[in-house]
Structure 1
Amino acid sequence: MLAMNKFRILGTTVFVIAASIVITSCKDKRSTGWEYAPNMYEHTAFDPDQANPNFKDGKTAQLPPAGTTPIGFKRFDYPNTKDGYEKAGLEVTSLIAQTPAHLAEGKALFTTFCSPCHGITGQGDGLVVQHGYPPPPSYSKGQSSRGGAMKDLTDGKIYHTITYGVNAMGSYASQVAPEERWKIVMYVHHLQNL
């Protein structure tokens, strides 16, 4: 008899638990249930595009202080002028080692970003030239619009041109990272000797 009461109590308990689970689970289909660590998705920090009363101009996204350099960023303090170009040509040299791997990466980057205008071999015969745009000078035979032979361009002059652009060539600073620019410079030196 005692064993029978234990089974009834156990059965009733299981039934009540099962019924409460069924009833509470059918209550609201849109409910996400209990929240665990709600501050992970209901944060108190301001989003960059939100108004922020903590700053005078009311903006959350602030410009960095003048003269600061982000971590891992290499400064290129040569202005986009003829004098800046000439000074970079005299003072700036490549920061990466001349290795076959870097030359191969430079070739791949040149093919992606530069060959549409300059051509695969740097002769100024890229696809855009075939569609009627003026050709850039050949790296091995042409003359620079800033003076001098293209085959004599230094690391700094090529890097300055990639960073700021010249004539019809726009800046590639936003598309090509500084280290990648040095790899392109390395490959352009290879094309100057063809």
Structure 2
Amino acid sequence: MLAMSKYKLLGATALAIVTAVVATSCKDKQSTGWQYAPNMYEHIAFEYDQKNPNFKDGKTAQVPPAGTIPVGFTRFDYPNTRAGYDQASAEVKNPLPSTPANFEEGKVLFLHFCSPCHGENGQGDGLVTQHGYPPPPSYSKGQSSRGGAMKDLTDGKIYHTVTYGVNAMGSYASQLSPEERWKVIMYVHHLQTL
């Protein structure tokens, strides 16, 4: 008798579930059903391209206030001119400590980003020279196109060149963060002594 009531209870529960599913599925076909956390689907905030009555010009996308600096941005206030290059040479020093870890990271970055042109040992014999491109000067023996020996390049001169580029070398500011550039410079100073 007890077993029979269990089956009746189980059957009644199954019938109730089936009835509920059928009843809720027969609603409006355009309905997507219940939404969990509707504020995730229906934005309260204005979209960037919408009109916005909260601002004088009616635009949601606003220009940042003058003088603001993005989070994580490092200022380099030396213009891409010869005067900026010379000023950076005199004033800019590597802020990172010279540690084995920074040196090794600089080596890896140099091999990935710089060695295709400059060669693994900085002698200007990278792979691109095999394809007809002019070789860059050797770090230890060459002469800079801006004057002076490559082995005498300072932190500021190298940082300025990596940031802005020079001659056939383009800027690497978008490929290397400021910290990564300083690590590469540590390794370049090693190559200047070879």
TM class, shorter-chain normalised?
0.7 to 0.9
CA distance in 1, matches of 2:46, 2:14: 49
Aligned residue in 2 for 1:19: 18
Identify the range of structure 1 (20-29 vs 119-128) with the bigger mean alpha-carbon deviation.
Answer: 20-29
CA distance in 2, matches of 1:59, 1:117: 46
Residue 39 of structure 1 and its aligned partner are, at CA, apart by 1.0
CA distance in 1, matches of 2:94, 2:66: 27
Aligned residue in 1 for 2:182: 182
Distance 1:46 1:80, change over 3 A: same
5+ residue gaps in structure 2?
none
Residue 16 of structure 1 and its aligned partner are, at CA, apart by 5.2
Identify the range of structure 1 (70-79 vs 152-161) with the bigger mean alpha-carbon deviation.
Answer: 70-79
Q: 3-state SS of the aligned residue for 1:179?
A: helix
Does structure 1 residue 44 correspond to structure 2 residue 41?
no
Distance 1:36 1:67, change over 3 A: same
Query: What amino acid does structure 2 have at the position aligned with 1:14?
Result: T
Deviations 1:59-88 (A, max 9, x none): 544332332212232211000000000000
Aligned residue in 1 for 2:122: 122
Aligned residue in 2 for 1:162: 162
Residue 188 of structure 1 and its aligned partner are, at CA, apart by 0.4
Q: 3-state SS of the aligned residue for 1:135?
A: coil
Q: Could you say what the CA RMSD is over the residues aligned between the two structures, in angstroms?
A: 2.7
CA distance in 2, matches of 1:116, 1:62: 41
Normalised to the residue count of structure 2, the TM-score between the two structures is 0.85
Residue 12 of structure 1 and its aligned partner are, at CA, apart by 8.4
Distance 1:58 1:25, change over 3 A: same
Q: 3-state SS of the aligned residue for 2:133?
A: coil
CA distance in 2, matches of 1:142, 1:15: 86
Residue 43 of structure 1 and its aligned partner are, at CA, apart by 1.2
Distance 1:15 1:88, change over 3 A: closer
Residue 18 of structure 1 and its aligned partner are, at CA, apart by 2.4
Distance 1:185 1:30, change over 3 A: farther
CA distance in 2, matches of 1:55, 1:116: 50
5+ residue gaps in structure 1?
none
